[in-house]
Amino acid sequence: MQAVLKLTKYIRPYIVFAIIAPVMMLIEVGMDLLQPTILQHIIDDGISQGDTSYIIKMFGLMMGTSMIALIGGIGCSVYASKTAVNFATDLRQDLYETITYFSNNSKDKFTLGKLITNLTSDVEMLQRAVTMLLKIFVRGPMMFIGAVVIVFVTARELFPILLVVVPILAFAMYFFTSLSGKLFHKVQRVVDQVNTKVQENLAGIRVIKAYNRKNHQIEQFTDVNTQLMKRSMTADQIIGVLAPLTMFVVNLGIVAALWLGAIKVESETIKVGVILAFINYLMMVMQGLMSSSMVLVQLARAIPSAGRIVEVLDEKADIQSPNQPVQNSVRGEVEFQQVSFSYIKGTEPVLKNVNFHAKAGETIGIIGMTGSGKSTLVKMVSRLFDVDQGVVKIDGVPIQQYDVEQLRQSIGFAPQKATLFSKTIADNIRYGNEMASDDRLEEALLAACATEFIEKLPSGKEHLLTQGATNLSGGQKQRLAMARAFIRKPAILVLDDVTSAVDSISEKKIQQAIEKQFGQATKFIVSSKISSIRHADQILVMDDGQIVACGSHEELLKTNSMYQEIDKTQEGKGGTLHD
């Protein structure tokens, strides 16, 4: 609930709309509520007196109120939509901005999939809730209350009927609403299971076919499918009781009205029109209750969405630029002093007491087994994470003193996972540097050994990549990701195992190009292959979060047993023949 309150600030700019909408709805409900009373007067005063002009007057009144109700209803709809759409748009924008500045820690904490859900379905859910809140949540209760009050004032003789009918209706609705919540929660769980099964079977169809597991898979599916059928059937059938039940209760109210009415008319305490009006109000009471309960269910569903969104909005951006960042541009000297870091605080660190010093222009090779902390180490250079202990310095200045944006601008980073956007190849490379000339683009592609395969594509550099670049091979994606880093001409170049899927001949060419074009830049090259880092000025051998050795290829071959072992396993393996 507190989450909901926090989100009200997004309504505030549209508070006028948010007030007009329910007011307009009140007008509509008010007019609707007048109708049965007018009807009663037409019957009891008009017909029984034979007063035609009175009837026409009343008829005019009815038409008039209907028109006003129409205006009210449309007005409410307009302003409710205005409020809800504006609310949702602003909220979405804020949410997106917050998420965009999330640190890796926060992204991991929420997971990307959930963040996407927050931005899409959660926001939409809230938008719908706001619309309902302004429209139906006003209409329902008001209609209910209004009808009850009018009956109490104008048809008190029949009021006892409401005293019986309303509690029964209210209880039945409460009971079935909460029951349906529970039942559909159960159904939803099976629905999820069915969806997961289908999704997996589609994604894993090759494996299933290769292992000839069709029948096994069908058997598993039959289980969940049967369960889904049973649970849905039970849920729907139980919930199906509500409609006939309310109908029955209301109809009994009508019967009672006729019964009681007959007695009261005979004793001349009421007139016939009152009975008719009462029946109409009874319907309104039911409608009011019914729509209120439905809206309540919807609103209840929106509350978790609100909670999730507020949680994201409240997440502090933990990596921020200092108020007065240093102004000097980055040359490329990088120093780690006693750096320790763990992704989840309190658990075993991923980096332990890491020390090294890279002079500007040097090539630093980083080698080690999967999980030894290589990627984490280079990510610290871009300040994707802040150290737990120790300090990372660039050009002798602690990294936290730089403006984050400026720092990252001066780094060309090709991450391990070569993610590309669904844009053209040229646009993807220019992502690294929008101002780059065509020549520079060519140069970057050439350096990454990407020119050859691009030329074979029908539309060359203008080739449009699919989402996730599924129409490219792993090696091709890696080349493009490298070109995107190259085009920046950065002071620090980080290549995080980006040649794993590139054939050895191309890799060699790429190494030469880097040497030639990025002589000034400090280069970090992460790899599990010795051939990728053999020529580095310094090679850091990592194991279990620590730098166990440091030196040139020749030095390490002499002194470090682990490096020797790696070299031995890779020796004579040659390279890779093709992507």
Partner 1 sequence: MTKNPVGPPSTMGHPGGRFTGPVVKPKNQKQTLLRIWSYLKLQKVELISVIIIVVMSTLLSLVGPFLIGKTIDDYIVKLDVNGAVKMALVLAGIYIASSVLTWVQTFVMIRISQKTIYRIRQQLFEQYQSLPLAFFDQRKQGDLMSRMTNDIENLNAALSQSVIQIVSSFLTIVGTAFALFYLDWMLALVTLTVIPLIVWATKQIIKRSSVNYKERQRNLGALNGYIEETISNADIITLFGKEKQSIEEFREANEKLRTSAMRADTISGFMGPINNFMNNLGLSLVIGTGAIMAVTSGLSIGVIASFVTYTRQFFRPINQLSNLLNTFQSAIAGSERVFEILDESQEVADVTNAKVKNTFAGNVTFQNVDFAYEQGKPILHGIDFHAQAGETIAIVGPTGSGKTTIIQLLTRFYDATGGRILLDGEPIEHYQMSNVRDHVGVVLQDTYLFSGTVRENIRFGKLDATNEEVEEAAKVAFAHNYIKYLPEQYETVLTSGGLNLSQGQRQLIAIARAILEDPDLLILDEATSSVDTMTEVHIQKGLSNLMKGRTSFVIAHRLKTIENANQILVINEGKIVERGNHQTLMNNQGFYAALQSQLMA
If one asks whether residue 262 binds partner 1 (CB under 8 A), the answer comes out as yes
Q: Which lies closer to partner 1 via its Cβ, residue 475 or residue 551?
A: 475
Q: Segment 77-136, which members bind partner 1 (CB under 8 A)?
A: 77-78, 80-82, 84-86, 88-89, 92-93, 96-97, 99-102, 104, 107, 112, 115-116, 119-120, 131, 135-136
If one asks whether residue 226 binds partner 1 (CB under 8 A), the answer comes out as yes
Q: How far apart are CA 99 and CA 101, in angstroms?
A: 5
- Phi, psi at 44, each rounded to 5°: -75, -35
Q: Are strands 363-368 and 522-527 parallel, antiparallel or unpaired?
A: parallel
Collapsing DSSP states into helix, strand and coil, what is residue 341?
Answer: strand
Q: How far is the CB of 1 from partner 1 (least distance, A)?
A: 24
Residue written as token pair 């050439």: 446
Of the candidates 9, 189, 316, 578, which one interacts with partner 1 according to CB under 8 A? Answer: 578
In terms of Cβ atoms closer than 10 Å to its own Cβ (0-12, 13-18, 19+), residue 135 is: buried
If one asks whether residue 301 binds partner 1 (CB under 8 A), the answer comes out as no
Evaluate whether 496 touches 413 at the Cβ level (below 8 Å): yes
Closest CA to 440 of 431, 449, 430, 455: 430
Kindly list the strands in the beta sheet with 492-496, ordered across the sheet, starting from the edge strand earlier in the chain.
Answer: 411-414, 492-496, 522-527, 363-368, 538-543, 546-551
Q: Segment 45-64, which members bind partner 1 (CB under 8 A)?
A: 46-47, 50-52, 55-56, 58-59, 62-63
Q: How far is the CB of 116 from partner 1 (least distance, A)?
A: 5
If one asks whether residue 409 binds partner 1 (CB under 8 A), the answer comes out as yes
- Site track for partner 1 across 380-399, x = CB under 8 A: --x-x---------------
Q: How far apart are CA 209 and CA 204, in angstroms?
A: 9
Q: What angle do CA 91, 299, 18 make, to 5 degrees?
A: 55
Of the candidates 105, 177, 180, 201, which one interacts with partner 1 according to CB under 8 A? Answer: 201
Collapsing DSSP states into helix, strand and coil, what is residue 211?
Answer: coil
Of the candidates 339, 354, 404, 454, which one interacts with partner 1 according to CB under 8 A? Answer: 404
In terms of Cβ atoms closer than 10 Å to its own Cβ (0-12, 13-18, 19+), residue 159 is: middle
Q: Segment 437-496, which members bind partner 1 (CB under 8 A)?
A: 467, 473, 475-476, 484
If one asks whether residue 322 binds partner 1 (CB under 8 A), the answer comes out as no
Closest CA to 306 of 131, 91, 102: 91
Binding window for partner 1 (CB under 8 A); candidates: 247-255, 353-361, 391-399, 533-541: 247-255
Residue written as token pair 């609403």: 177
If one asks whether residue 300 binds partner 1 (CB under 8 A), the answer comes out as no
Q: Are strands 334-341 and 351-358 parallel, antiparallel or unpaired?
A: antiparallel
CA-CA-CA-CA dihedral for 286, 291, 297, 298, to nearest 10: 180
Q: How far is the CB of 424 from partner 1 (least distance, A)?
A: 14
Q: Which lies closer to partner 1 via its Cβ, residue 260 or residue 357?
A: 260
With helix as H, strand as E and coil as C, how does 38-86 read?
Answer: HHHHHHHHHHHHCCHHHHHHHHHHHHHHHHHHHHHHHHHHHHHHHHHHH
Number of residues that bind partner 1 (CB under 8 A): 173
If one asks whether residue 375 binds partner 1 (CB under 8 A), the answer comes out as no
Q: Which lies closer to partner 1 via its Cβ, residue 99 or residue 358?
A: 99
Q: Segment 1-20, which members bind partner 1 (CB under 8 A)?
A: none
If one asks whether residue 149 binds partner 1 (CB under 8 A), the answer comes out as no
Q: Segment 420-439, which members bind partner 1 (CB under 8 A)?
A: 420-422, 431-432
Q: Segment 485-504, which members bind partner 1 (CB under 8 A)?
A: 500-501, 503-504
Of the candidates 290, 449, 454, 525, which one interacts with partner 1 according to CB under 8 A? Answer: 290
Q: Which lies closer to partner 1 via its Cβ, residue 90 or residue 355?
A: 90
If one asks whether residue 179 binds partner 1 (CB under 8 A), the answer comes out as no
Q: How far is the CB of 517 from partner 1 (least distance, A)?
A: 19
